[in-house]
Amino acid sequence: MKLISYNVNGIRAAFTKDFTGWLKVADPDIICIQESKAGNDQIDIESFEKLGYHSYWHSAVRKGYSGVGIASKIEPKQVIYGCGIEQYDHEGRIIRADFEGYSVISVYVPSASNIDRLDFKLQFCEDFLEYIKELRKTIPNLLISGDFNICHKPIDIHNPEGLKNVSGFLPVEREWLSRFIDECELIDSFRFFNDQPDNYSWWSYRQNSRARNKGWRLDYNFVSYPLKDQLRRAVILKEVVHSDHCPVMAELDI
C-alpha cells in the first residue's frame, strides 16, 4: 500500500497546477491532505472520483483556512470527522478513516508563527497525544499522516542553531514530539529508512529557499509499532511543487 501525506496549501490552487495529473501518475492508494483551505462544496470531488478515489473532507468553519482530507481507493468502513473537541474541530484539523485492520489519520497541527498561538498549539499537541493513546486501545494499527509544524531533531532543519528560538523548532515543541512518538509507540517512517541530512518537506517562499534547499522537515507518516515489519519504503517527493510543502510517502505491505 502506498500512502502519501501532502500539505497542498490550498486544494483549489493545487488543481490549477495539474494536481490531478500528478495524482494519476503518483497513484497512491491513500492520500492524506492538509490545508485544503476550501469548503466541501468548493472541492472538485468529481476529479478524485474519476481517478478511482473515495474522498472525505473536514473543512474549517472559517473560510479559506486549514482543513484536512483523505482520498482512498479503498472504501473505508467508516470516517470520523474531528476528535470531539470543538475548538479544534471548528478549524478542521483531524479526520480519520477506519479500514479492515488499520486506521489512517490526516492531521494538521496548528502553526504558531504568531506567538499568541503557541499556547493553543501546545494544548492541541497534548490533547492529540491523549486522543491517539486512547485510540490505540481499540485500534492498535494506526497510520498518522500530516503536517506537524515541528522539526523533530537538528538533522530535520537547515539551520538548527540559528532557528532554535523559532516556533517549529522550539525545545518545548521538539520535546512534545519525542513524547508523542514514545508514548504512542510510533515509528517515523522516513527516519526508519533514511538517516541523512538535508531532507526537508517545507521551504519558505522567501529568499529562494527551495532552490537553495534551506528547508524544514515538518511532514510525517507515523506508523504504529505493530506495523514495523510491514514497512517497505519511505521517501520525500521534493520534486513535486504544487505547494510550499512537498508530499511525503510511505509504502507498507497491508
Task: Examine the residue annotation and report whether 29 is marked as an active-site residue of this protein.
Answer: no
As a whole number of angstroms, the distance between CA 65 and CA 36 comes to 8
Q: How far apart are CA 19 and CA 157, in angstroms?
A: 27
DSSP tag of 74: S
Cα distances (angstroms) measured from residue 6 to each of 34, 84, 96, 99: 6, 24, 15, 20
Is beta strand 30-34 parallel, antiparallel or unpaired with respect to 2-7?
parallel
The x, y and z cell numbers of residue 239, run together, are 520534486
Q: Which of 147, 156, 188, 219 is catalytic?
A: 147
Residue closest to 217 by CA, chosen among 233, 232, 195:
195
Q: Which residue has the cell 470516517?
A: 79
- Give the amino acid at 218: L
- Burial, 205: exposed, middle or buried (Cβ in 10 Å; 0-12, 13-18, 19+)? exposed
Q: How far apart are CA 224 and CA 28, in angstroms?
A: 20
**Which residues make beta-bridge pairs with 105?**
96, 144
Residues facing 221 on adjacent strands: 145
The residues annotated with a catalytic role in the active site are 147
